[in-house]
Structure 1
């Protein structure tokens, strides 16, 4: 859908398409038996970080709960809570979720036996219980992917043959020891990424000097840094480590970036994790973000704006169509599209991203994102999908065309969504040329 846009006439096509998206509205109905099943699962778990804190037994359905994915019929099809510090046992009641297709509970501290009832789920195609403390016996599962590697009582030591016929993935391993007195050693092991010490990153950023701040947001600050070998980097220092937001974003970004590798997606250089710090290290983008460039001088020329739009589109298309499971970014905006040395678009900041099986229509969560960039159906229902990202991409297109930022435009007239109303008004009056950034003069592609 995104790739079908023709840069020379994308403006008119987008406006009609965007008007259609603006009117989308989804609804869902109660599924009390699934609420009961999930509450039964939660009661057997110890959840120290509150990952399941919004699982409310009085809810009419669980589709708005964290860690839960529902299909278009509002039936639970996936439970994903990897690396959440969960302990306790996995209740047999999970098998009452008869439409369940995926279960991801890897990298926790679950103990006890794997529920035999899981083997009765007819649609279960992916089960990842790796890196827990589970014990046998292990049921025979008809799943395409069943990963129980890293459970010492089942697959460790002399019991490795029990895992020999299983499909083993390479999940992320977070092994943070909160009781450690050593705070400048990296405390996790992850793939081939470089692990930095806190001392290294303090030195690179001049002790996180305010003069090196590249940007800031609800997540924390991003600092310009220079490594000992002279390499320039951007260091994201996450805050809110006393709650779940910062830790969750840290894990999410690492997991998502490990799945998505594309020239128009931000890659990660390395990370640092201590009991009191979570830091992510990225390549330094000398041309900043699209948001900063829209405010800067000289103005971006039309061809550069088209190249940015196409680059961002390619990155999103990869996330939606070529990743398995697909990735919903959920925060597509000018501030999260960076520009490399050649002004190529690099989509970054995966802290709000969600995984979604290709068979699913949406995932339901608490609404997160940026005012002015949130799709109306996501805002009203909490249901996000690739359409949510397309809406954000549409706002990005408007910002590239007009040279204005949606949020600032709304603030100027004290009305959220004001840019959309303004665009629709111009469309009705057939004065589309008024949308074009005045800084471009006559140097842009006209609609014929």
Structure 2
């Protein structure tokens, strides 16, 4: 085996290892969610279908996407702890205090060799303290207070070199306390049956621990009072702004000052200088594309991460600033493996920028129509995956995200492709939050001609079914490789609109003539028929007749298409017959006019 082959093999193995580790983290966290009996309205984005766990709530990761912190305090969980947590080898903080967790502490917790803080205070844990916790050589804070733990304190805890705080009070522990534990700065063993107290050589609590406990009590009383006042003032402020009809501000830009208006979780705030360097001072040669609100630049961060930086050009206008706020807010809410993830943002007094992962294979539109010499075309299996992935992303926006979101500009140019050619729905600049009390939203019409649903164009009212229409046009783009509007088709006496063109060829049973010639006939005609049928169902004139995206997903997976298609054909035949009758009447009227000019003149101008 030559050197190049060895390097390729090693790279493949490393990539596989990294992917396996990511999957392992997802599995461990999801197992924790299940074991804790999490209610339906908690940890809703802890879902295996939603990108990697670094975007899940109450989870933090390092720069290498390793889970380093899980914070699930005071959430009312009633389940137990899963041993699967032991596989999170990079975890440094695990905090589950203030729940009602039962069962024992799994011995697998001893595998968390990077753990610095373990806090399981105020639960209903039983069993013995695992001897394996002695493996946690970096552990500094161990808090197991106010549980129902029994047995002795394991000798292994005494050998922890970094331990500076151990709280084991208010349990049912008994026997000897390892002598070395009395020498750490803070400890509390009160409320047990241990060899400490007035009748023993050592007190059951360090002075620091007692003072800390007293201090915490005082702080708790003060904090409770202050919190109550803050809540009252906050609610009063909300009522005031609601009464005044003010719009909620998402973002405040004060140069040099940290923004305290919004918490972005894993989203990073970049400095202007970082992004300026990353994009080579926003060089023209790094432009990836240009949209309605600005240009997108390819960039490389200091750590080597490739990114796409969207620089808004009309930030000073209400629309531009609103677009920035909308994208930041929406993408921090909407997290799914088929939706573009926001990495970070930057704001100054004169700039608004958004930072996304760089999509190695650019957009579907690029792969269909703008390929450079030597670049591979999208094969048919990949196009099918794109259709399904896009549908799942839109299904999440419409039916699973809270609040629901309308994209309003679904097209091939806004469907991006990652390194594995998986579809990622991008560009939320035109998206619209949907109030759950209303079925549609009236707003200024935005989007791209040829992709805009007729009811949206005529009334300005958008709904989820507006996106369904755009998705149907995108499916036609996938099949044909053509644009939604193409005036060059006039030269061949074909329809300018791709929708009309596809309808005509489908009716004439000549679909093979419209399939993208770049596929070189490497496709399944039955698959093409399925995709075209779904596309036509999605682009029906009446929004009520279009399927929901969840139905589209099922149809792509082979369920329910036949019935819907039969209904569509019946309606389409009747519509076409009505249209032909109208045409005949119009033609008859024209013949009458030409044969009776006097009648026209007597009747006056029309």
TM-score tier by shorter-chain length is 0.5 to 0.7
Bigger Cα Rg: 2
Compared with structure 1, are the counterparts of its residues 364 and 173 closer, same or farther at alpha carbon in structure 2 (3 Å cutoff)?
closer
Structure with the larger RCO, 1 or 2 (CA within 8 Å, 6+ apart): 1
The equivalent position to 2:471 in structure 1, one of 369, 389, 393, is 393
Compared with structure 1, are the counterparts of its residues 209 and 420 closer, same or farther at alpha carbon in structure 2 (3 Å cutoff)?
same
Which residue in the other structure is 1:367 paired with?
445
Compared with structure 1, are the counterparts of its residues 329 and 156 closer, same or farther at alpha carbon in structure 2 (3 Å cutoff)?
farther
The equivalent position to 2:253 in structure 1, one of 176, 182, 204, is 176
Using the size of structure 2 for normalisation, the TM-score is 0.44
**1:363–1:384 CA contact under 8 A, matched in 2:** yes
Q: Please list, as runs of the form range in 1=range in 2, the aligned pairs for 1:307-386 lying within 5 A after superposition.
A: 307-386=385-464
1:324 is paired with a residue whose SS is coil
1:272 is paired with a residue whose SS is strand
Deviation at 1:246, TM superposition (A): 1.4
Deviation at 1:159, TM superposition (A): 2.3
1-side partners of 2:301 and 2:235: how far apart? 44
Compared with structure 1, are the counterparts of its residues 161 and 380 closer, same or farther at alpha carbon in structure 2 (3 Å cutoff)?
closer
2-side partners of 1:418 and 1:355: how far apart? 29
Q: Please list, as runs of the form range in 1=range in 2, the aligned pairs for 1:141-180 lying within 5 A after superposition.
A: 159-160=229-230, 162=232, 173-177=250-254
1:280 is paired with a residue whose SS is strand
**1:289–1:336 CA contact under 8 A, matched in 2:** yes
2-side partners of 1:175 and 1:424: how far apart? 49
Compared with structure 1, are the counterparts of its residues 428 and 247 closer, same or farther at alpha carbon in structure 2 (3 Å cutoff)?
same
Using the size of structure 1 for normalisation, the TM-score is 0.59
Runs of 4+ in 1 over 6 A off after TM superposition: 155-158, 163-166
Deviation at 1:298, TM superposition (A): 2.5
Which residue in the other structure is 1:289 paired with?
363
Which residue in the other structure is 1:446 paired with?
525
Deviation at 1:357, TM superposition (A): 3.2
Which residue in the other structure is 2:210 paired with?
none
Mean Cα deviation higher: 340-349 or 355-364 = 355-364
RMSD: 2.6
Deviation at 1:436, TM superposition (A): 1.0
Q: Do residues 204 (structure 1) and 281 (structure 2) align? A: no
Deviation at 1:440, TM superposition (A): 1.6
**1:324–1:357 CA contact under 8 A, matched in 2:** no
1-side partners of 2:420 and 2:343: how far apart? 20
Which residue in the other structure is 2:264 paired with?
191
Compared with structure 1, are the counterparts of its residues 320 and 223 closer, same or farther at alpha carbon in structure 2 (3 Å cutoff)?
same
2-side partners of 1:330 and 1:371: how far apart? 12
Q: Do residues 239 (structure 1) and 313 (structure 2) align? A: yes
Which residue in the other structure is 1:435 paired with?
514
2-side partners of 1:416 and 1:241: how far apart? 39
1-side partners of 2:479 and 2:503: how far apart? 15
The runs of 5 or more residues in structure 2 that have no matched partner are 1-224, 239-247, 530-606
1:282 is paired with a residue whose SS is strand
Higher helix share: 2
Q: Please list, as runs of the form range in 1=range in 2, the aligned pairs for 1:47-196 lying within 5 A after superposition.
A: 159-160=229-230, 162=232, 173-177=250-254, 190-192=263-265, 193-196=267-270
Q: Do residues 263 (structure 1) and 333 (structure 2) align? A: no
What per-residue deviation string (whole Å, max 9, x for no partner) do you get for residues 233-286 of structure 1?
Answer: 000000112211211110000111111100000000000001100000000011
The runs of 5 or more residues in structure 1 that have no matched partner are 1-154
**1:311–1:346 CA contact under 8 A, matched in 2:** yes
**1:186–1:197 CA contact under 8 A, matched in 2:** no
1:406 is paired with a residue whose SS is coil
Compared with structure 1, are the counterparts of its residues 380 and 260 closer, same or farther at alpha carbon in structure 2 (3 Å cutoff)?
same
**2:330–2:428 CA contact under 8 A, matched in 1:** yes
Compared with structure 1, are the counterparts of its residues 176 and 317 closer, same or farther at alpha carbon in structure 2 (3 Å cutoff)?
same
What per-residue deviation string (whole Å, max 9, x for no partner) do you get for residues 381-424 of structure 1?
Answer: 101111110111111100000011224x2465499962122112
2-side partners of 1:205 and 1:400: how far apart? 32
2-side partners of 1:356 and 1:416: how far apart? 35
2-side partners of 1:219 and 1:412: how far apart? 30
What per-residue deviation string (whole Å, max 9, x for no partner) do you get for residues 346-403 of structure 1?
Answer: 0011011111134422111110001111111100010111111011111110000001
How many aligned positions are there? 285
The equivalent position to 2:302 in structure 1, one of 228, 232, 238, is 228
**1:328–1:386 CA contact under 8 A, matched in 2:** yes
Which residue in the other structure is 1:276 paired with?
350
Q: Please list, as runs of the form range in 1=range in 2, the aligned pairs for 1:402-417 lying within 5 A after superposition.
A: 402-407=480-485, 409-410=486-487, 413=490
Higher strand share: 1
Deviation at 1:441, TM superposition (A): 2.7
**1:288–1:338 CA contact under 8 A, matched in 2:** yes
Which residue in the other structure is 2:505 paired with?
426
Which residue in the other structure is 1:132 paired with?
none
**1:294–1:300 CA contact under 8 A, matched in 2:** yes
Which residue in the other structure is 1:215 paired with?
289
Compared with structure 1, are the counterparts of its residues 190 and 206 closer, same or farther at alpha carbon in structure 2 (3 Å cutoff)?
farther
Compared with structure 1, are the counterparts of its residues 248 and 173 closer, same or farther at alpha carbon in structure 2 (3 Å cutoff)?
closer
